[in-house]
A and B are shown apart, each in its own frame.
Chain A
Amino acid sequence: MIHPITLQQGTDWQAQAEVFEEIFFVFLALGTLVGIVVVSYTLWNVYKYRDDGSEPDADFDAPVVGELPTGQGGPKAKKLFLSFGLSAIVVISLVVYAYGLLLYVEDGPDTGEEGDIEITVEGYQFGWEFLYPNGHSEMNELVVPADKRIDLTVTSRDVWHNFGSSDLRIKSDAIPGETSETWFSVSSDEVAAQGGEATFRVECFELCGSGHSAMKGQITVIPQDEWDEWYANTEGDSESASVEDADPASDTDTSRVTGAAIGGVGA
């Protein structure tokens, strides 16, 4: 079931193969199965052993008020341990499996020589500021090129926010005084499929004050050439628009990396 997942930069990205969707599906399938088995088994037994008013079996040993529980050779617990063992195996293997994929998500895909784009995201009451390597900043809309791995460094200038996009399956805490990291990547196929410009909803996932509900933004992904043109026109030094040497703002060893890729994950 565990497949080595590699991200191929190129044209043959498979949009549906996301890490999250895969794990979610496996958990959902197994979870539903276990849930249904346990619940129906329980319901069936409860029905079977209902008190229908008939005479109790000869070996039915009714409890009495004031008895002490010990020394009465309570029913055997063998079955208990069998079911317990089975469920433990299910749970543990699920988590081990998910852990393998966590490592991938933490590292991010190998981007080859194309290089990354480093964006600093700063949450504030109530909006998002995106800071580009050339010093340009955008409010509430992040414009990035397709087929690039975008690295986000997330922080906050006031209270605790949480930067996330459900569509892209990315999320990261925006904590004052701390930086956390996440990444995403959108394929040009996806962009083409959405009509030359792919947009994704950005929301805040941590209560941050009266405007929390309205703290929305957008990630817009456009083809590389269009983006190059757009980026060159932003204020700031367009030389550093070659993002190769963009400095990773974070030097802390505690920062965290996570993310997922739309269409970036294939077999």
Chain B
Amino acid sequence: MSELPPTTSIRRWLVTTNHKDIGILYLITALFFLLFGGVLALLIRVQLWDPANQVLSGLAYNEAVTAHGLIMVFWFLSPFAFGFANYFVPLQIGADDLAFPRLNALSYWMYLFSGILLAVSFFQGGTLSAGWTMYAPLNVPMYTPSIGSTGAVLALFMFVVGVTASTVNFLTSIHHSRAEGMGIMDMPMFTWSMLATVWMMLFAFAALLAVGLLLASDRVLGSVYFSATEGGSLLWGHLFWFFGHPEVYIVFFPALGVMLELFQTFSGRRLVGRKWVIIAICLISVQSFLVWMHHMFLTTINLEIKTLMMATTIGISLPFDLVVFALIYTLMKGRIQFTTPFLFAFGALLLFILGGITGVFLGAIVLDYEFRGTYWVVAHFHYVMFGGATALFGGAYYWFPKITGKMYDEFLGKLHFVIFFVSFNMVYFSMFLGWETPRRVFEYNPEFQIFHQIGSIGAFVLGFSFFIMFYNFAKSYVSGPEAGENPWDYSRTAEWAVSSPPPLENWPNRPSYASGKLEFVKDYVPDGGPAVKADENGNAATDGGDTHSDHIRDYPYWDKHPSHASIWPFTLSLATGIMLLGLSGFNDSVAFEIGESLGSTAITVSNAAYPMLAVLGLLGLIFSGVKWGLEEFYAPPSEFAERWPFNGVEKVKLGMWFFMASDVILFGAFISAAVFIRYNAGWRTWEPLTESLPGLINTFVLLTSSFTVILALVAAHRNSRKGLLASLGTTILLGLTFLSIKMWEWHHEVFDRGVTLSQNAHGDPIQASIYYVTTGLHGVHVVGGMLIAGFLFYRAYHGAYLDDERPVEYFGLYWHFVDIVWVFLFPLFYLF
């Protein structure tokens, strides 16, 4: 642990783990990517000026379209929203910070470096050109051979890793750190929207992680998932849209939260039908996973399923209806103040209404048959997604005074809004008028040229309008008037109850809503023990204490000061970035000449730089990981907090549960992929590639190791160092046995029989890919488990975990999970 340097020092920004600092980093980085994606958009618009125009080649145009989509959806919209979430969710729920501050820093750095990887991919022979939807098989090297294409896929993978960490962090924070008295229904609407967002992200991004891993495996290792004619293309469609549809709400919900917040603040009214809005938000989150095939109405899925998807699609538009009306009725009878933030939020509502109505058109299958792949879809989703983002810009104006302590310039803000709103509609409404133009096509029917020209003019004006905002913010930051604690007349949420900007640990004393409104209470801290809830006179309460204080007693360092700085999130992300950069060119620079057996494989390296980067990155990653593990970083849970519905669950354990829930989806997607392809190939035409005996032995080995992990925990609990070492050691040995048998099986049972990642002497090549990749993913989990177990063993040898056995318990949870997954894989690959 190191001290946090002042904000003027560059080091501060590299080591900070404070949620407000990281929020600022997110916001600034996201705005940078807005510019990046915006420049690409302008390139597209220039090309569209004239159907005969060829500013960019066909390939370059596709790269621009792809990168524009990827950057705006992944590297701008969500991170921009998460900038606000980082800054304000802890403030709104009365927490000191997020649950896992270092993990939060890790998410940010993963995001930043993944974005840099994406930018670099332009210079690796051109970035990906398969569209942001990356349809298969255009996304495999046979059709998009550039190294940069692989680089972009790996960048996306890295981004998703950061997102997953962030998801777990927010879920744990919101469920574990709400101030006393703030029940889940009492949370401010922005926080509510973020909660729904991260719940959706937990599952949706796990599916994207899965599909990204499969694609990375196809591109880097050479498996053949997405080029397989046994349903490879449709597999991509299903997995991508299973993620993709929730994703559109994931980017929209934070903006919705801002709208809900701002409508109340600037009308002086409380949300109409609050409970129903919350219910609608929850409904949408669940339903969002049941509509994905409405993006695939034109594929070969059958009529019954299409009908079902049409029904669920229309079903999901109904709760949205309710939310929109709630927003409108909230304004009525209010005292509406037309400030810049309100104008943006209100503009967002209008745009969203238009986007929603055109969405209903798309939900009717017959219409979708014609709209699919045209500018109608492009216009629709810009109205909903970018329309939503409009509210986020409102949020930027709204919270600018809180973040900087300075007031923005109201006139410039309104000017920005007017220009923005007019040009927005020029760009996107013209798309409805010229909707018959196919999407991602620049040699379009000249009949529509006028619409595209209006759009192109609008785009430049739209781009320009943001410079008014940047100028406004820069000028106000330097010389704006002091904003004070609370510049708004009718704000309600807790961020307005502290200074602007808020102090490092947010609160003067412990925030509590126990009395029905926000108060700062001073707790009584007995000498040598954790805080105890105080009664009115500031003395220790005697009424039996607080059940939640167990959460803090579990932390043996309770008397330390919370930490706010660590360099390891930064180095870990940097190392990951370097490793992935190396992997992007791996397939092109390293060739394997496979001989009779694995042993006689000849390796030729044509470009040493890539493999060296990969190895360098891997070493840095392991080094940073170990240093992270050894660092003393103290982030205690809040002492008195609302934790429904996870009252009895300790913080890190809760985080583990969330993480494993996402891992379940990851494996679920891999297994579904295996089942889907096999079904398409004809289920019974496949035989297991290997004898069932090694698999059977391995099943026993793993199940036994699950048992020894429990023994380790028991030993730690009984303070028996020897017992702990013995059972941990046995677990490690069993894990290594599993891996050895696995290696032997891959080598002698499978490989020597002519089965490689892309070839199969006994049947469809895709079967070989599935076998290696799915059992390989499990193998990677086992290896990860072994590394952690080795680390625990080393620490235990030096006497750790006897008074605090929780790390052993968490490892146990993970290990059980890995074993359970095997129980599913075994029949799939060895028996049937």
On A, residues with C-beta under 8 Å from B are: 19-20, 23-24, 27, 31, 34-35, 38-39, 41-42, 45-46, 49-51, 56, 60, 62-72, 74-75, 77, 79-81, 83-84, 87-88, 91-92, 94-95, 98-99, 101-102, 105-106, 125, 158-160, 162, 164, 166, 169, 171-173, 175-180, 201, 203-214, 216, 252-256, 258
Contacts and interface: CB of A to CB of B under 8 A. Distances in A.
Contacts of B267: 49
B230 interface: yes
B271 interface: yes
B300 A178 contact: yes
B61 interface: yes
B274 A101 contact: no
Interface string B451-476: 00000000000000000000000000
Interface in B34-76: 57-59, 61-62, 65
Given A63-B264, A80-B322, A212-B62, A254 B129 contact: no
Contacts of B301: 254, 256
A203 B183 CA distance: 56
A159 B236 CA distance: 12
A65 B487 CA distance: 12
10 contacts: A31-B360, A42-B328, A50-B336, A70-B185, A75-B272, A80-B325, A160-B138, A178-B300, A205-B438, A213-B443
A213 B439 CA distance: 9
B493 to A, nearest CB: 7
Given A20-B370, A51-B337, A70-B183, A88 B321 contact: yes
A99 B370 contact: no
B103 interface: no
Contacts of B443: 213-214, 216
Most buried by B among A67, A166, A177, A208: A177
Contacts of B497: 65-66
B298 interface: yes
A43 to B, nearest CB: 8
B367 A176 contact: no
Contacts, number: 283
A94 B231 CA distance: 34
Contact of B329 (A62, A80, A175): A80
A65 B270 contact: no
Q: Size class of B's contact patch?
A: 35 or more
A205 B374 contact: yes
B303 A106 contact: yes
Interface of B: 57-59, 61-62, 65, 129-131, 135-138, 143, 181-183, 185-186, 188, 228-234, 264, 267-274, 276, 298-303, 306-307, 310, 314, 317-318, 321-322, 324-326, 328-329, 331-338, 346, 349-350, 353-354, 357-358, 360-361, 363-367, 369-370, 372-374, 436, 438-443, 445, 486, 489-494, 496-497, 513, 516-519, 680
B366 to A, nearest CB: 5
Contacts of B436: 166
A49 B334 CA distance: 6
Given A69-B274, A159-B143, A105 B366 contact: yes
Given A87-B321, A102-B366, A160-B233, A80 B302 contact: no
Contacts of B329: 75, 79-80
Given A177-B228, A212-B440, 8 more contacts: A63-B492, A67-B518, A177-B232, A177-B680, A180-B299, A204-B441, A207-B439, A214-B443
Nearest to A100: B366
A68 B517 contact: yes
A237 B365 CA distance: 40
Given A159-B137, A173-B300, A175-B300, A35 B357 contact: yes
B492 to A, nearest CB: 5
Contacts of A50: 335-338
Nearest to A172: B298
Contacts of A158: 137, 143
Contacts of B57: 210
B489 A253 contact: no
B353 A39 contact: yes
B335 A162 contact: no
A66 B494 contact: yes
